[in-house]
């Protein structure tokens, strides 16, 4: 077996970059560790400015032919990639669970099927993409979506392959070429995606994968003058750094950043439903940007809501994510565990009370936590923890509920639980958020716009919004006369 192959959960994974259709090794490596038990999974090629430049050059060289490829052929190849994902779904699920600690049952039933759906959706949307011609004083306006060029896509560790393909699929459908830089804490399924794309017949250089640290390979990618689009999902501080890096070239950015989303529970809500929605926020060990981590409950029902919540939370099973009965797995990395614990310790020292949890579990696990007696201006209410930690506050009326919900620098999502349709309409109209769910959570359609307000992001992707970002949208205006008759 090649020294550049590692075996994870019985699946061989190449640890090298994928550039211009070939595997490329770096002289240095970084260690990839499983959050489940701390075992070393692989030594991964550690990219530098040299690999970044080579990947962008490969993407640039492949762009003219890929941009000129007819839409139907691009769509066919995206469907072929989806076929490959479905054939290897079990392998992808096993590798990703081992690499990032998320539930194997979720990967099998939801996440990996969604990866395939990402490719199929944007392949199909591409074939339907268009705008009716319209006239201006007899002149015809014709709108087109032209491929923009090489794209750099930087993806997070909490849902590695699903969020990578949420970007890769529309970029490829748009006729762009791609350099994908996965998170260094969960790089393995991106490498498998490169194999799947090559097996599907995607031309060399159209999809490149470069691994490594942001400071070493991410910076030269985002600052490269030949890059035409940058899409990033991650933290606000990193987004600021990327924005500054891209500014010199005026490279357009799409940024999906952190959240501190509220769950508003009104007294007229189905409290059992609301408590279930709140407990659902512990999904993926709370490592979900959309999670409604601030629970706001109307005062008269706060005690009953808390009782129902704690009963449901007590039924959750934390443990090995590979087991079917596990509900909550480990945190991704010791540094993330320490960050979560630091937030909670400081909150408790400041006077917060732990209704449940409030401490680490064994190994790399943090016990699901609900904190109350927290101030609106406190760190635990204002800053993203990105772990299984929720806060509970009460409100007296609609105005106070909205004020508390909107009183952070974020605006990614919000959830409202109410039995009054008119109240739902009033409240959702006043909430600052890119997505609002009413009496539900995490229902997402790829046709819908997705993104955040305020410090939660810049821009929207999904459906035509994705093509608006990954393309140069052009309007061609043609006069009603002036052409010569060649008949």
Active-site positions read 256, 289
Task: Copy the structure tokens of residue 300.
Answer: 């008269």
**What is residue 60's three-state secondary structure?**
helix
CA distance 395 to 369: 21
What is each CA distance from 53 to 224, 247, 279, 369, 378, in whole angstroms?
8, 18, 45, 45, 44
Say which residues have a Cβ less than 8 Å from residue 329's Cβ, sequence separation at least 6.
35, 36, 97, 101, 102, 103, 284, 285, 318, 319, 320, 321, 365
Say which residues have a Cβ less than 8 Å from residue 109's Cβ, sequence separation at least 6.
none
Task: Copy the structure tokens of residue 361.
Answer: 């579990």
CA distance 457 to 164: 17
298 Rama sector, left if φ>0, alpha if ψ -120 to 50, beta otherwise: beta
CA distance 3 to 276: 48
Q: Are 451 and 460 in contact (CB under 8 A)?
A: yes
335 Rama sector, left if φ>0, alpha if ψ -120 to 50, beta otherwise: alpha
Find, among 409, 370, 404, 408, the residue nearest to 387 by Cα. Answer: 370
User: How many H helices and E strands in the chain?
Assistant: 16, 22
Task: Give the position of tokens 């959830």.
Answer: 415
């Amino acid at each position: 077996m090649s020294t550049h192959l590692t075996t994870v959960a019985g699946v061989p994974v190449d640890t090298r970059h994928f550039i211009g259709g070939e595997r490329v090794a770096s002289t240095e490596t970084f260690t990839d560790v499983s959050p489940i038990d701390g075992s070393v999974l692989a030594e991964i090629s550690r990219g530098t400015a040299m690999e970044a430049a080579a990947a962008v050059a490969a993407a640039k060289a492949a762009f003219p032919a890929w941009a000129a490829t007819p839409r139907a052929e691009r769509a066919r190849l995206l469907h072929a990639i989806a076929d490959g994902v479905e054939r290897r779904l079990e392998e992808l699920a096993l590798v990703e669970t081992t690499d990032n600690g998320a539930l194997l049952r979720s990967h099998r039933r939801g996440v990996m099927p969604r990866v395939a759906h990402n490719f199929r959706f944007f392949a199909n949307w591409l074939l339907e993409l268009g705008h009716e011609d319209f006239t201006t004083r007899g002149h015809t306006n014709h709108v087109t979506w032209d491929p923009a060029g090489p794209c750099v896509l930087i993806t997070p560790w909490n849902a590695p392959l699903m969020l990578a393909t949420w970007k890769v699929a529309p970029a490829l459908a748009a006729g762009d070429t791609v350099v994908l830089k996965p998170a260094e804490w969960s790089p393995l399924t991106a490498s498998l995606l490169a194999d799947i794309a090559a097996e599907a017949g995607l031309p060399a250089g159209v999809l490149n994968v470069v691994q490594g640290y942001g400071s070493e390979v991410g910076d030269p990618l985002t600052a490269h003058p030949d890059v035409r689009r940058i899409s990033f999902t991650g933290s606000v501080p990193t987004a600021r750094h990327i924005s500054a890096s891209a500014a010199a070239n005026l490279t357009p950015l799409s940024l999906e950043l952190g959240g501190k989303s509220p769950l508003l529970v009104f007294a007229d809500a189905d409290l059992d439903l609301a408590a279930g929605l709140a407990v659902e926020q512990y999904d993926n060990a709370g490592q979900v940007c959309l999670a409604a981590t601030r629970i706001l409950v109307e005062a008269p029902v706060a005690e009953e809501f808390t009782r129902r919540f704690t009963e449901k939370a007590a039924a959750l099973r934390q443990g090995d994510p590979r087991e079917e009965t596990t509900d909550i797995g480990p945190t991704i990395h010791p540094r993330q565990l320490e960050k979560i614990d630091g937030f909670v310790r400081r909150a408790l020292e400041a006077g917060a009370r732990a209704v449940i949890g409030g401490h680490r579990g064994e190994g790399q696990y943090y016990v699901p936590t609900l904190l109350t007696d927290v101030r609106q201006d406190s760190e635990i209410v204002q800053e993203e923890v990105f772990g299984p930690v929720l806060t509970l506050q009460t409100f007296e009326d609609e105005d106070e509920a909205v004020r508390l919900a909107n009183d952070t620098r974020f605006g990614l999502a919000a959830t409202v639980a109410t039995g009054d349709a008119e109240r739902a309409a009033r409240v959702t109209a006043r909430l600052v958020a890119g997505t609002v769910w009413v009496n539900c959570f995490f229902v997402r359609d790829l046709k819908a716009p997705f993104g955040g307000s305020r410090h939660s992001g810049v821009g929207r992707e999904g459906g035509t919004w994705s093509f608006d970002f990954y393309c140069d949208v052009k309007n061609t205006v043609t006069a009603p006369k002036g052409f010569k008759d060649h008949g």
